[in-house]
Structure 1
């Protein structure tokens, strides 16, 4: 079963990694003067990368970090490794696993996965991802832990497999839909000092693919949102492929819909070719949809136009996904809201930067090879004295895409109808078309194609923005090499650091640098004793890693980095299982804090208000975690990490 599980995950990952950006935006090499251009043509060297304001050369000078108060853990190359290894002096215990009861009346998870879809609606979903902790007002030892459930794996079903060769059984599809979405659970610190769940809390709830959600903002009621099942275009059923998250200053949870195109199909070749809202996002146009073939049991996932149905049937259903969804964790009766002013793409996160004057920006990556970094700036300002009035600020603002210039400067390009070529003559009849087709709008505006931009994190004091670029083996072939993406066949990824002009989150100009290149050490040898190719060498000061993905700052300004690589492939590069690391932004030193079980991704972080408890997610473990007995089907699991002496995590 574990082999099938891993194979299925790898198949889904390969669908996510497709490059579909057709734009001919100029490579940054063309913007560099001839003396520097030869760096990109002649190959990558660490000396050449020192061009970035001393940023990378500073790595070699870094001294031991005062921020990192723990001993790093070693890589784990054992193919049977099936536990969590955390730094000395810490403990990591399973806290919340797929199938655990959430809502009142939920049954206890059955080890044979025979629970039906009605049970799954009340149980923890699959593949835990981004999460946040929301304390109750005036309390530090009690709060709500809110987390995404990105997608599902075959162990969800008793057979441990999903047969895509024939129409899917509706009950199986419903269970998969119920295992997507979000969980809200109440947690508190007990008298023994340990955090635990509150099992019968009125706040506990599941939000799934079967939960009605209000459409708000510029697309509410628009023709592009109307379907045969929702002729008003005002309410959509469900949210899916929820990856990273964000929070608002008024205390709500933002969940982001990532690889939603893989759930839909349009079988009409002529329509698919001319329909930008389908083709530019890579919907399937033959066979079945790329993930689970839900369309064989649930008609709304078949986006093939139907002339005999109102609004073309379900042709607009894909337009209703790819948004930021706002959830009020403290109001179980509140309907989730899809905020369409944010724009539509395969969004990883909505990382908040809040200025002292109440102005805001939310930063996001579009996780595919050659896609873009975005930010959304609400028009209004947050009023801390009256936070509830601020809620509808998310329905009006400006979406920007980033251009990274070769000299270390950058610009936010407004994706606004009538600006930067976004006109009716170029296929954008209104702001609604700009937002629904944000990728195509960024193409036209001239944004810089990036190496799979994923999570963003904002430093708690400087407001510098860090962005993970996970990897891109198509760099140098499908997208040109440039200064922000300097390695061809980039298997290991990098992290960028952005400084907004004047530390103003609403600025339209910024400076940027490569914070680090992930990968192997300088002078490393391959299994045959030959020097590792230059494109695999990183600039990490400290513990090595590949494919940075999740990213978060703690209150002390430590940068936590989570990885997502194929650990079978990574074993060849001595990277081992996926891991959680911590970096000092000043010295750039990196230390490995935690290693997960074989086959998993490490993702999602949340801290208690005092910083003494940390929750992290072990997504799609490949063996039998958390049972770790080699027999029990694996379960995505949130682990609780505490320090044995009761101190602050990482210090």
Structure 2
């Protein structure tokens, strides 16, 4: 997800760092050349005819215990119109629904927290006990005795905006021209990252309220102690001056989407963590794959936030031959899935290294008929890959807590999308398929630390910024958003292909696939393009900006979520100030029918925001979503008050299920 508070010409989060020209590309290009000559519409013809094996009720490969859905879910609301007004500062939801601000940046979380100050003068010590900035992925964890009326809401805080400080971040240059930051500002920014856990409950008037002073309320920040487990734990490449064991780390960074496990834990994902580090030794940076391949700043550059001028952890420049005495390995300690139990406020979060290291967007958990566990993730950078981790042990639904370290052993896979609609999951296993000492991989720790480089060698398919993955609860079909890639077909190493069909792709697409026999542990799948976002085919927009949406138009799909009835909810993230996105209005939440592919717009957010993070109660009658980095005074809606990222609660006025 893009950090848009600075509105750069090229978003640093999206700068491609994939140097590979994978061998499969020539095969794909050759097989698609004739179709592409005939124009975009012809190129898509074979992929929009519903050939996906998991879609048909007669699919012979389907697991008999998975009831393949052949009836559309009810989508009964009236579409909300686009909102183009430059001063649009509210949330507009479909008729018959109410949306209200529920939990905003600066709200008290932990006992002893002080109220948020509208002039942003709260100290870093106060921010540690308050909600962080830029709410993103989240999940609802119900209490078993009242699952639809009482639970914990767990919310990621991705990064910080200049609004965190009274007058924006302070930057001064020293005699050497290096930008310096005040310590109190850096500490406040670190405190505004991470996760909030809040207890919520319906009151006597049947209204949701936050439970103040709850023992479950908790903040995780960029300085919260965490453990490191799995194949990289204790590796020489994870040891630092602060942690010579390579098994303990402070904090989590840039927490975008997430995952929720059936054994009751929350999976935090670390996305654009590379923006926080710098290695000023260019020669060292050039040969250090764990830095260069992940886009860490180098040479005379600084990191995006300049934290290294205050906190030495973020200066990854090697100090001497015994490099672990410095912090050259600190970047290797980020980019992981962090697992913790929201119901145990004293638990130590654990970074699960078996799942691989990259700019992880989500960690979507799918359980098979025999307890197979798979976790799907996108690497949200232009030209990067889609991954799957399959646990070695199986999940026992009758004893969910039986394997607390289930995510420490298993196989990491990366996806290849063939031009004929077939797909493969290739295993990233040390000693196999070129992942050997000859290519710089000395152990499985090296493979997971440098998962991108390992995937390069295997010939994975570079994608148009893979983001959220969602699973249909009725069919186990999987969907992934490819948000955009304006360099597709422009850069030599990113030509158009079957899964990424548009040159200079501004608007993105959604792919759908079905694992063989609906088994999440399978290594083969079939796939198709579910839809292309963008302008109407009848518009005057250039062909590469036209989509094939059946219904309400949108751009840059990002968040994805299925409700229990099988409605697919789509959230968008585009810069509504850019000319190319003007026809789309403000960012929005839409609802799609997986069978008919019809799309209806349910909600529109305020100017400048991203719509993200979606979760709800088991009965589908309460829905929470996040308004991230609003560009105007939301939720105050007065045009003056400092804007705040906010979790919004949506309910149906008649008390019914959302979407019906």
**TM-score band w.r.t. shorter chain:** over 0.9
The alignment's TM-score, normalised by the length of structure 1, stands at 0.95
For residues 376 and 393 of structure 2, the distance between their equivalents in structure 1, rounded to whole angstroms, comes to 17
- Runs of 4+ aligned residues of structure 1 deviating over 6 Å after TM superposition are none
CA distance in 1 between partners of 2:4 and 2:448 (Å): 35
Using the TM superposition, give the Cα deviation of residue 11 of structure 1 relative to its aligned residue in structure 2, in angstroms.
3.2
Asked whether the equivalents of residues 137 and 155 of structure 2 are also in contact (C-alpha less than 8 Å), the reply is yes
Deviations 1:520-570 (A, max 9, x none): 101202xxxxxx211101010000000000111000000000000011115
2:176 — aligned with what? none
How far apart in 1 are the matches of 2:30 and 2:242? 56
Rate the CA distance shift 1:96–1:164 in 2: closer, same or farther, 3 A: farther
- The secondary structure found in structure 2 opposite 1:390 is coil
Aligned pairs (5 A) from 1:71-150: 71-140=78-147, 141-150=149-158
Measured in 2, the distance between the counterparts of 1:64 and 1:426 equals 50
Structure 1 Cα separation of the partners of residues 371 and 296 of structure 2: 39
The CA deviation at 1:55 is 3.3
Write out aligned runs for 1:434-449 (5 A): 434-449=447-462
Please point out which of 587, 602, 613 is paired with 1:593: 602
Which residue pairs with 2:65 in the alignment?
Answer: none
- Which of the residues 526, 535, 556 maps onto 1:520? 535
CA distance in 2, matches of 1:561, 1:252: 24
Instruction: Give the C-alpha shift of residue 234 in structure 1.
Output: 1.0
Instruction: Determine whether 1:316 maps to 2:324.
Output: no
State whether residues 579 and 602 of structure 1, in contact with CA within 8 Å, keep that contact through their aligned partners in structure 2: yes
**Which region of structure 1 is more displaced relative to structure 2, 17-26 or 497-506?**
17-26
Pair 1:300-2:297 in alignment? no
Picking from 134, 156, 175, the partner of 2:188 is 175
Q: Verify the 8 A CA contact 1:164 1:293 in the aligned structure 2.
A: no
Q: Return 5+ residue gaps in structure 1 as ranges.
A: 526-531
Q: Distance in 1 between matches of 2:124 and 2:209?
A: 27
1:400 aligned counterpart, secondary structure: strand
Kept after mapping to 1: 8 A contact 2:574/2:581:
no
Given that 1:29 and 1:406 are in contact with CA atoms closer than 8 Å, whether structure 2 keeps it comes out as no
Identify the residue that residue 422 of structure 2 maps to in structure 1: 409
Distance 1:342 1:287 in 2: 33
**How far did 1:471 drift?**
0.2
Relative to 1, partners in 2 of residues 1:187 and 1:7: Cα closer, same or farther, differing over 3 Å? closer
Change (3 A) 1:252 1:615: same
Q: 8 Å contact 2:369–2:519 — kept in the other structure?
A: no
2:405 aligned counterpart, secondary structure: helix
CA separation of 1:19 and 1:7: change in aligned 2, threshold 3 A: closer
C-alpha distance in 1 between matches for 2:78 and 2:71: 12
| 1:507 CA displacement | 0.2
Cross-structure match for 1:226: 239
Q: How does 1:472-621 map to 2 (within 5 A)?
A: 472-478=485-491, 479-525=494-540, 532-569=541-578, 573-621=582-630
Question: Is 1:49 the equivalent of 2:62?
Answer: no
Q: Does 1:195 align with 2:192?
A: no
Instruction: Report the Cα offset of residue 178 of structure 1.
Output: 0.3
Aligned residue in 2 for 1:384: 397
Q: How many residues align?
A: 635
Match status 1:346 vs 2:359: yes
The alpha-carbon distance between structure 1 residues 164 and 572, as it changes in their structure 2 partners (threshold 3 A), is: farther
Aligned residue for 1:467, secondary structure, equals strand
Corresponding residue number in structure 1 for 2:297: 284
- After TM superposition, give the deviation of residue 6 of structure 1 in Å: 9.3
C-alpha separation in 1, matches of 2:202 and 2:301: 47
1:528 maps to which residue?
A: none
- Alpha-carbon distance in 2 for matches of 1:31, 1:132: 38
Residue 286 (structure 2) pairs with residue 273 (structure 1): yes
- Indicate the RMSD between aligned Cα atoms, in angstroms: 2.0
Structure 1 pair 553–494 and aligned structure 2 pair: CA distance change class (3 A): same
CA displacement at 1:194 relative to structure 2: 1.4
The reply to whether residue 258 of structure 1 matches residue 271 of structure 2 is yes
Mark the runs of 5 or more structure 2 residues left unpaired by the alignment. 56-69, 174-178
In 2, the alpha carbon distance for the partners of 1:7 and 1:226 equals: 33
Contact 1:126 1:179 in 2 (8 A): yes
Q: Distance in 2 between matches of 1:473 and 1:94?
A: 34
* Pair 386,572 (structure 1): closer, same or farther in 2 beyond 3 Å: closer
Match of 1:153 in 2: 161
TM-superposed CA distance for 1:429, in Å, is 1.1
Secondary structure of 2:637's counterpart equals coil
Given the superposition, is the C-alpha separation of residues 402 and 90 from structure 1 closer, same or farther in structure 2, using an over 3 Å criterion? same
Q: Secondary structure at the match of 1:567?
A: coil
Contact 1:28 1:406 survives alignment (8 Å): no
Q: Mean alpha-carbon deviation: is it higher for 487-496 or for 281-290? A: 281-290
Cα deviation for residue 436 of structure 1 reads 0.2
Is residue 374–residue 400 contact of structure 1 (8 Å, CA) maintained in 2? Answer: yes
What is the distance in 1 between the residues matched to 2:536 and 2:4? 30
Candidates 641, 645, 648, aligned match of 2:654: 645
Contact preservation (8 Å) 2:138, 2:155: yes
Change (3 A) 1:515 1:310: closer
Q: CA deviation at 1:286?
A: 3.1
2:33 is aligned to 37
Shift of the alpha carbon at 1:37? 1.8
* Alpha carbons 1:283, 1:289 under 8 Å: kept: no
**Per-residue CA distance 1:573-614 (angstroms, 9 max, x = gap):** 410111110101011000111100000000001101211010
Q: How far off is 1:390 after superposition?
A: 1.7
- Counterpart of 1:22 in structure 2 is 19
